[in-house]
Every structure is written in structure tokens, then in C-alpha cells.
Structure 1
């Protein structure tokens, strides 16, 4: 159940250098899941690069610090091709603070996600608190009941 007093949910959208946008339960104008969903729908697409490491650090600093419970998880939905040449922030920025599910989705050109980037994001090389790394071909697969049940089982 996603209600302000019971669950904490937030979304960080990102692209290139310093373009992160955050909407979350608990924001001044977001007091229920319906309003949060509308706020997410209202986010505009941001053209540019993929600075995933920077976005994960932003998430750590600006979203996860709000959620002090030890019962939390980050689900990172990405094309899995971070621009690690221009963004020096490590992809494993969240590994010390929360379990991470990296969810790599192929792009409109059918390019697959980079599995090494997904594994770094999900902390798979860490003996403590390894996450989960998943690849899908397109966003429509995120609505599949079996997929949703598997993610829910891992998160809950």
C-alpha cells in the first residue's frame, strides 16, 4: 500500500549533467499515490546523455536520506548505457545504503543494456547486500504480471 504515512515512494528522472528531477511522497504537494502518479506523468522527457552515476548520487543525497527505514530498496530503470567517460560518479553509489534492483530496458533502436553497468548499479560484485539485475527488451514488459510478481517478491 502506497500512502504517505505507510510507504515512501519517489522517482528521480535524469539525463545529462545536473538535470535530475525528483518527485516523491511527502513533497509539499504530494500526499497520496494518485497525486504522485500524476506528478510522474507530468515529468517531461529530458534529451541528452546518460549520467547514471550522478543521478544515483543525487538519489542518495536527496531522496534516500528522507527514507530512514532499513526497509527500503532502490529500483533503477535505465537503458544500461551510462556515459562513464563524462560522468565519473561511480555506478555503485547506492550500494552502501540500500539494496538495488537495476532494470535495464532496451531502447527504441533495440540496443540492449550494458550488463556490466547493470551489475555495477545492482552491487552484484559486493559480498554484502548484492542486489538484483534484470534486463528487458521494452517497457511494455514491465506490465507483465509475472514480472511484477517477481519484483514484488524481491522488494517485499
Structure 2
């Protein structure tokens, strides 16, 4: 028990817009209440920070446009902690581009999704084909890649090797 039977549903309804400026009657029949309900179903009731912004969006845009923005956020599985930031970005982007109807924002969203898909490539990224260097190819001979030293270059190398070996012997004698 407890409640009085009410013959008219309108008596129990709540109008969130007490200013009388809401955009309830649009083509899709989406109301401010529907927008708040969708937000609530995804992320819980809009808090004291989100609610004024949601109302601003609803004052500036038709309810079906704001509703569609929430739908997009839901499709992208936006978490409650990022919902306000995501919604701001979507709606501000539409407002900068002067998109105000449901058809305009749906077209923009479709173009955005196609652009994102093409930037990702739609599939696995192409891999660079690796090739072996000439010297590792079958049939390559080890001498084919060597440059011959002149007798003068070879003499310099032999002298350096002899000095290094001599230095090594001197160090060994010093540690004994």
C-alpha cells in the first residue's frame, strides 16, 4: 500500500526543464528525460558537475542529438570516469562544425568511423620484407666481398699486431 491511485500519468511525471525551453518535440520524439535516463543507465545519475553541462547541451542542441552522443559513448564503452570528458569532446566538436541536427551528426559520426578505420588500415599492418645482404646469399664466396690489401697496408697491420703482442708480453712480465 501507501500510494494514492492516480488516474493521470502526467501528474506523476517530472519535468526536468522548468524554464519551458526544452527541445522535447523533435523528429525522434526524444525528450530531456530520455537523455537523462540513457546517461543514468550507462553511468549512473549525472552528478553535480555533469548535470549542469548536460542541461547546457540540451539547451543548445535538440535532445535527439545529445542522446545520439551518449549512444556513441556507450558503443565505444566509455567508462563513467571518462564520460563527461568524452561527451564534451564529441559535442564541442559538433558545435565547432555547426552540426545541429540528428542527420548531420550521424553523417559526421559515420565519416569519423570510416576515417579511423582507414587510418588503422582495417587489418594487420603491412610488414617490411626482409632480404639477406649480398654476402649472405647462397652462392656468394667469402672472398667476393673482401677487398685486397696492398703490401703497404698489410705491412702496417702486421706492425700493429706485433706492437700489441709485445705490449701484452710486457704487461705479463710486469705482473709476475
* TM-score of the pair, normalised by structure 1: 0.20
- The structure richer in strand per residue is 1
Question: For the pair shown, which has the larger CA radius of gyration, 1 or 2?
Answer: 2
- The structure richer in helix per residue is 2
Higher-RCO chain (CA-CA 8 Å, sequence separation at least 6): 1
* TM-score of the pair, normalised by structure 2: 0.18
